Amino acid sequence: MASSEGFLTNEQREMLKIASQNVEVLSSSPKSPTSFLSEHHVKAPAGGKAPTAGIAARHVRRSHSGKFVRVKKEGGGGKGTWGKLLDTDGEATLDRNDPNYDSGEEPYQLVESTVTDPLDEYKKAVVSIIEEYFSTGDVAVAASDLKELGSSQYHSYFIKRLVSIALDRHDKEKEMASVLLSSLYADVISPPQIKDGFFILLESADDLAVDIPDAVDILALFLARAVVDDILPPAFCTRAKKALPESSKGVQVIQTAEKSYLSAPHHAELVERRWGGSTHITVEEVKKKIAGLLREYAESGDTSEACRCIRELGVPFFHHEVVKRALVLAMEVQTAEPLVIKLLKEAAEEGLISSSQMVKGFSRLVESLDDLALDIPSAVSSFQSLVLEATNGGWLDASFLKSSNEDGDAQVEDEKVRRYKKEIVPIIHEYFLSDDIPELIRSLEDLGVPQYNPLFLKKLITLAMDRKNREKEMASVLLSALHIEIFSTEDIVNGFVLLLESAEDTELDILDASNELALFLARAVIDDVLAPLNLEEIGNKLPPNSSGSETVRSAQSLTSARHAGERLLRCWGGGTGWAVEDAKDKIAKLLEEFESGGVLSEACQCIRDLGMPFFNHEVVKKALVMAMEKKNDRMLDLLQECFSEGLITINQMTKGFTRVKDGLDDLALDIPNAREKFSFYVDQAQEKGWLLPAFGSPAADGSH
C-alpha cells in the first residue's frame, strides 16, 4: 500500500520535486558540491511527519529569475536574492566630512619597520669611542662619551670590545686600553661589570685565537695588568677557571697569567712596563708624585701651586688618592690640617676634584682606619672632625655622613671596639712568637670583653693568612683551645661570618685568600670547633653569590672528601704541637700505663710533655671514664697530683667533669652504675676544690 516514497501528501511531493530541481542547479555550478543530496534519501518517517533529512524547506527560495536556489542560512546572500534585512557585507565608503566619521573605522595599513637590538646599537657606538680614544689619548673625553651613551647595563661588552680591538694593535694601544680601564673603574664601570667583561673575554678566547695567533699570551697580560692595577681581585682567576671548560683557551689564558706574570718576582713592575708604559705613568709613580706634591704643599702652603700640580698629573680618575693621602697628612701632622681642608675645598670648588672622587677618597680612608689607629691614636676622632668640616663646608656630599652613621663599624667605629682591636694585635703577635696559649687566654680574660670574641677570631686569622704555615697552624690550634676555654660556638660562627663578609677585600691583599679561608673553616670542623651544620649556618648568613659563600662551599667539599681528617690536620704542616687525634691517642696510652702500675710523677711528666694545656680536660675526662670502667679509683690520685701541681687548672678540671656529665646517658649503657660512681667522684672533687662553684650536682640531673 505504501509507495517507495512512503505516505506523502501532494504538497510534500511538490516540495520534493522542487528540491530535486535545485540539486540539478547546484550540481551544475563549479563552486557547489557535486553530490550534496545524492547521498541522502528523503524518506518519511513512520507517523507521517514531514522529512527532516536533506535540505529544509525554509532554505529554498525562488529567485527573481524564477529559479529555485539554495540560499544562506540566515536568509541573506544568494545570487539574485534581496539579502538579509541588515546586510553589512557590501563595500562602504567612509566620508571624512561625515559628522559621525570615526577614524577608528579606517582600514589599518601595515608599515614595514626594521627591529633593532639595543646591544647591537651599543656595540657599534662604542667602536667610535674606542677609535677616537686611540687617536687622541684623552681619557676624560672617552669617559664622558661612555657616560653620555647610557646603557650602563652593557658596559661589560665595552671591556670586551676595547681589549679585542687593542689585541690587534701596537703596544701603545694595548697600554692605552689598560690605562682607560683603570680610569673607568668604579666611576663609570662598576667592579662587577669589570669582572663580567673579563669573563666574556675569556669565554671568547677560542674565537679570538683564530684571528690572532698570540691572543692567549696578550689576554693573559691584560688579565695580569688588571690584577696589578687593582681593578680585578686575584681570586677572579680561580673563580673564572672553575666556570670555564678545562680545554678552553680561556683556561690557558688564566694559567699563563698566573704562572708567567702574577707569580714572577717583581711581577707588578714587570707587568706595568711590558707595553712600555708609553702613554701614562704607572700607578706607583702617580702615588709617589702625589705624596711629593702634598709634602711640598705642607711646607709652602701655596694652594694654587698645589692645584696646578694636581692638574698636571693628568689622572682625574685617580684624584681619590690625592684626597686619601691629604687626609692622612692632616691626621699625622696637626698643623697641616687647616692647609689640607683649604686645599680640598678649593679643589672641589674649582671642579678639579669631582664629587665622586672626593667621596671615594674619604671612603677608602674609612677602610684603613683600624691600621691608622695603631700609629695615630687620634685617627678616628680626627677623621670625624674632618668629615664634619667637609660636609658643613659643602665640598663633601652629605650622603657620606649618612652612610657613615648607618654602617656603624664599617665607618667611624665605636671607641671601645677600636681600642679592643688595637689591644689584641700585640697579644696575637706575642702568641706567634711564644706559642704560649695559656698566657694568651689570660690576656683575653683580662680584657674582659667576651662580646668581642668574634672580632678576635677575625683578626687572628687575617694576621695568620699573611704569614707562614707555622702561624696558620698555630692559629688553628689556638681556635681549638679558645673554643674549649672561653669561646662559644656562636662566637666562632660569628667570627667566621665577619671574616667571610670581608673576603673580597682580603683577596685584594692576599693572593690565595679564598682557598686559605676554606682550609681554616674545614680545619675547624675536623678539630670539632665547628659542626658540619655550622657551615650551613655560616653560608646562610652570607649573600648567595658572594666570595664568602663560595668559600663555605669549598670548605664543605674539603670536609666531605676521602681521608679529609688526616689531610686537613696536616694542611699547615702540623707546625705546632700535636694534632687533636694524636693527642687523644697519647692521653689514652699514658693513662693505661699509669693504671697498670705506672709511676705518678712519670704520668704527670707525660701530661706536661704533651704541651697542650688547653686540652687537659681530655685527660680529666678519660681518667674518670677509665676509673668507672676499671673500678680503679687510683685515677683520682693522678688528678689530685695534677691539680696540686697546677698542671690541670680548675677550668680544665671543671670542663672535663662537665664533658663526662654530658655523656652519662651513653656511659650508663656500658657501665650500669656510671651515675652513682660519677656522683661519688663529683663529691670528692668538690670537697677538694677541683671544681668551680657553678658546677651543678649530677644527682639532681641524673636521678631520672
Of residues 458 and 138, more confidently modeled: 458
Return d(Cα 175, Cα 193) in angstroms, integer.
20
Spatial contact of 257 and 241, defined as CB atoms under 8 Å apart: no
Helix (H, G, I), strand (E, B) or coil at 382: helix
Q: Which residue has the cell 683580662?
A: 446
- Which residues, at least 6 apart from 658, have a Cβ–Cβ distance to it below 8 Å? 695
Spatial CA neighbour of 383 closest among 332, 423, 344, 419? 332
Q: What is the pLDDT of residues 170-189, one digit of tens each?
A: 888 898 998 899 888 877 88
Return d(Cα 701, Cα 533) in angstroms, integer.
28
Return d(Cα 277, Cα 284) in angstroms, integer.
12
Indicate the pLDDT class of residue 55, thresholds 50, 70 and 90: very low
Judged against a pLDDT cut of 90, whether residue 368 lies above it is answered with: no
Helix (H, G, I), strand (E, B) or coil at 189: strand
Spatial CA neighbour of 161 closest among 117, 218, 213, 122? 122
Domain covering 580-688 in this structure, CATH number: 1.25.40.180
Spatial contact of 584 and 617, defined as CB atoms under 8 Å apart: no
Return d(Cα 555, Cα 544) in angstroms, integer.
15
Q: How many CB atoms lie within 10 A of CB 566?
A: 11
Structural class in CATH, domain 118-273:
mainly alpha
Cell numbers that stand for 686 in this block: 668538690
Indicate the pLDDT class of residue 576, thresholds 50, 70 and 90: very low
Q: What is the pLDDT of residues 643-675, one digit of tens each?
A: 888 888 887 888 889 889 888 888 888 888 889
Return d(Cα 697, Cα 241) in angstroms, integer.
58
**CA angle 586-592-597, nearest 5°?**
130
Indicate the pLDDT class of residue 199, thresholds 50, 70 and 90: very high
Return d(Cα 75, Cα 72) in angstroms, integer.
5
User: In Å, how far are 523, 538, 565 from 571, measured between CA atoms?
Assistant: 8, 22, 10
Question: What pLDDT, on a 0 to 100 scale, did the predictor assign at position 204?
Answer: 92
Q: What is the pLDDT of residues 244-265, one digit of tens each?
A: 998 999 999 999 998 888 877 6
Residue spans of beta strands (DSSP E) within 345-476: none
Q: Which residues pair with 185 in a beta bridge?
A: 189
What is the four-CA torsion angle of 602, 604, 610, 613, rounded to 10 degrees? -170
Question: What pLDDT, on a 0 to 100 scale, did the predictor assign at position 411?
Answer: 42
Return d(Cα 9, Cα 48) in angstroms, integer.
9
Q: What is the pLDDT of residues 92-104, one digit of tens each?
A: 566 777 777 676 6
Helix, strand counts (H, E) of the chain: 37, 2
φ, ψ at 439 (rounded to 5°): -65, -40
Question: What pLDDT, on a 0 to 100 scale, did the predictor assign at position 158?
Answer: 92
Spatial CA neighbour of 585 closest among 558, 563, 612? 612
Q: Which residue has the cell 663633601?
A: 396
Indicate the pLDDT class of residue 192, thresholds 50, 70 and 90: confident
DSSP 6: -
- Which residues, at least 6 apart from 303, have a Cβ–Cβ distance to it below 8 Å? 297, 339, 342, 343, 346
Q: What is the pLDDT of residues 298-321, one digit of tens each?
A: 889 999 999 999 888 877 767 888
Question: What pLDDT, on a 0 to 100 scale, did the predictor assign at position 36?
Answer: 39
Helix (H, G, I), strand (E, B) or coil at 185: strand
Cell numbers that stand for 64 in this block: 527573481
Across the range 525-538, mean pLDDT stands at: 89
Range 116-142 burial, b when 16+ CB lie within 10 A, else e: eeeeeebeebbeebbeebbeebebeeb
Across the range 504-528, mean pLDDT stands at: 81
Q: What is the DSSP string of 355-374?
A: HHHHHHHHHHHHHTHHHHHH
Judged against a pLDDT cut of 70, whether residue 587 lies above it is answered with: yes
Spatial contact of 330 and 386, defined as CB atoms under 8 Å apart: yes
DSSP 512: T
Q: How many CB atoms lie within 10 A of CB 628?
A: 22
Spatial contact of 426 and 458, defined as CB atoms under 8 Å apart: no
Question: What pLDDT, on a 0 to 100 scale, did the predictor assign at position 279?
Answer: 45
User: In Å, how far are 180, 305, 345, 360 from 229, measured between CA atoms?
Assistant: 11, 29, 28, 17
Topology adopted by domain 411-569: 1.25.40
Judged against a pLDDT cut of 90, whether residue 392 lies above it is answered with: no
H helices of 301-376, in order, are: 303-313, 319-332, 337-349, 355-367, 369-375
Spatial contact of 566 and 533, defined as CB atoms under 8 Å apart: no
**CATH topology match: 118-273 vs 283-393:** yes
Question: What pLDDT, on a 0 to 100 scale, did the predictor assign at position 219?
Answer: 93
Across the range 484-510, mean pLDDT stands at: 83
Spatial contact of 514 and 551, defined as CB atoms under 8 Å apart: yes
Least confidently predicted of 8-22, 388-402, 671-685: 8-22
> Biggest alpha carbon distance in the chain?
139
Return d(Cα 240, Cα 69) in angstroms, integer.
80
Judged against a pLDDT cut of 60, whether residue 595 lies above it is answered with: yes
φ, ψ at 681 (rounded to 5°): -65, -40
Q: What is the pTM of this model?
A: 0.37
What is the four-CA torsion angle of 354, 174, 165, 260, rounded to 10 degrees? -120
Question: What pLDDT, on a 0 to 100 scale, did the predictor assign at position 318?
Answer: 76
* Helix 319-332 with 379-393: angle, nearest 10 deg: 130
Question: What pLDDT, on a 0 to 100 scale, did the predictor assign at position 511?
Answer: 62
Return d(Cα 226, Cα 532) in angstroms, integer.
37
Across the range 497-502, mean pLDDT stands at: 88
Q: What is the DSSP string of 634-655?
A: HHHHHHHHHHHHTSS-HHHHHH
Return d(Cα 393, Cα 390) in angstroms, integer.
5
Cell numbers that stand for 445 in this block: 680574660
Rounded percentage of the chain residues whose pLDDT exceeds 90: 18
Spatial contact of 63 and 25, defined as CB atoms under 8 Å apart: no
Spatial CA neighbour of 361 closest among 289, 459, 290? 290
Return d(Cα 475, Cα 461) in angstroms, integer.
7
Say how far residue 391 (Cα) sits from the centre of its chain. 32
Question: What pLDDT, on a 0 to 100 scale, did the predictor assign at position 277?
Answer: 58
Residue spans of beta strands (DSSP E) within 241-317: none
Delimit the domains of the chain by residue range: 118-273, 283-393, 411-569, 580-688
Judged against a pLDDT cut of 60, whether residue 477 lies above it is answered with: yes
Mean model confidence pLDDT for the chain: 78
Least confidently predicted of 77-81, 119-123, 442-446: 77-81
Query: What's the alpha-carbon Rg for the chain, to the nearest Å?
Result: 44
Question: What pLDDT, on a 0 to 100 scale, did the predictor assign at position 573?
Answer: 66
Return d(Cα 84, Cα 80) in angstroms, integer.
12
Indicate the pLDDT class of residue 49, thresholds 50, 70 and 90: very low
Q: What is the DSSP string of 505-559?
A: HHHHH-TTHHHHHHHHHHHHHHTTSS-HHHHHHHHHTS-TTSHHHHHHHHHHHHH
Return d(Cα 359, Cα 400) in angstroms, integer.
7
Which CATH number is 283-393's, of 3.40.190.10, 1.25.40.180, 1.20.1740.10, 1.25.10.10? 1.25.40.180
Return d(Cα 342, Cα 330) in angstroms, integer.
11
User: In Å, how far are 294, 365, 549, 661 from 665, measured between CA atoms?
Assistant: 72, 56, 38, 9
